Amino acid sequence: MRIISKTGLLFYATLKLVFIALFSLSLNFASNVSAGEETACNGSDLLENLAGKDPAALANLRQQAGKNIYGNSRLWKISKSGYPDSWLFGTMHMADEKVAVLPDQARAAYKGSKTVLVEITDMLDPEKAQATIIRLKHLTFRLDGSTIESDISGEQLKKLKLAIEARALPYQLAIRMQPWMLAPAISNQLCEVVAKKLGKPFLDAKIMQMALKDGKPLVALETTEEQLKAISSMPRDFQMATLIETLELGDKLDDIKQTMKNLYIRGDIAMIVPVIRHFTEKFVSHPGFAIFQEKLVKQRNLKMVERADEYFQEGNVFMAVGALHLPGNDGLVSLLVKRGFSVEAFDTPS
């Protein structure tokens, strides 16, 4: 765990993957993307469509979300008798200005804090992050001379080529990426690619930059290496299934991400996973998804809350992590309750 002072700094990670620094770096290879003009984020709200076409399915999704505890807010006050309050805030790792903004209540919570906790900080030190990726290149790239062309062909390969071209990724580089890295790289909305080329940070990066500017200790709860090893340990067939599902979804990915953004803005975090499950059925029905949930959600949550505990015990903490880490029995809010903290949800109108 690293503490950084002011003098010290990926399918969307998938669900986040959550490995934003890594995916941002992979997208930085897209040097041919025009940064002259911003590109609007396209996509329609799938829940609006369901409301008109299949209200029963929508009701079922809401029922599923209702079972997911602590999923009704982006911002939680974390309290313990005798200590100053702390705060837990859920972010979305996208550069779209609709979600890359700190709501007023969360900003006030940040201002009152003394210590800021985040997932990783390496994205604020690109050279260090890139050095880690190079050192662990066997986890991110194929080193045996093979390419993704040996795994897929025909219509799937044609779709892949179009997706790579649309994001201006060097083709010979892209086809040598491991499937887990290639899938989020080609699933990024073009508006996100352009936003990154324009230097627009996602919310986590903004919060880190604020902490450094304000002289607040900045604590990284994970390392790039830990995240790389976790995601690259996913079964190979699951990685390929994720990539193929990404290709098959095509433009619907924009709709899924737009729906996720709308749910996030409303603070309806518990609804996000049911929506993903509903519209990416092949992905979540794969046997590897259970391993994905265990390693990339449950185990990471346990590790993060264990490392964060000493800071919460002192109070005056502002912790900002991907919103999907907050809800559920294995989520961070529930884990903090199990450690004796009291929690309270706060509305975060944008």
pLDDT tens sequence across 56-101: 999 999 999 999 999 999 999 999 999 999 999 999 988 888 899 9
Average pLDDT over residues 4-18: 34
Average pLDDT over residues 252-280: 92
Predicted confidence (pLDDT) at residue 350 exceeds the cutoff of 70: no
Give pTM, 2 decimals. Answer: 0.86
| pLDDT value of residue 10 | 31
3-state secondary structure of 90: strand
Predicted confidence (pLDDT) at residue 123 exceeds the cutoff of 70: yes
Nearest to 218 by CA among 89, 337, 118, 294: 118
Asked whether 74 and 283 are in contact (CB, 8 A), the reply is no
237: its two tokens = 């067939």
| pLDDT value of residue 115 | 98
| pLDDT value of residue 285 | 66
Q: Which domain holds residue 62?
A: 2-346
Query: Which of 8-22, 133-147, 228-242, 304-318 shows the lowest per-residue confidence on average (mean pLDDT)?
Result: 8-22
Give bridge partners of residue 3 from the DSSP assignment.
Answer: 219
Predicted confidence (pLDDT) at residue 2 exceeds the cutoff of 80: no
| Residue 326 C-alpha from the chain's centroid | 12
Task: Determine the Cα–Cα distance for residues 220 and 304; give it in Å rounded to an integer.
Answer: 9
3-state helix, strand, coil in the chain (%, to 5): 55, 10, 35
| Helix 224-232 and helix 126-135, axial crossing angle in degrees, nearest 10 | 40
Predicted confidence (pLDDT) at residue 343 exceeds the cutoff of 70: yes
pLDDT tens sequence across 171-226: 999 999 999 989 988 887 778 777 777 778 889 999 999 999 999 999 999 988 88
| pLDDT value of residue 174 | 93
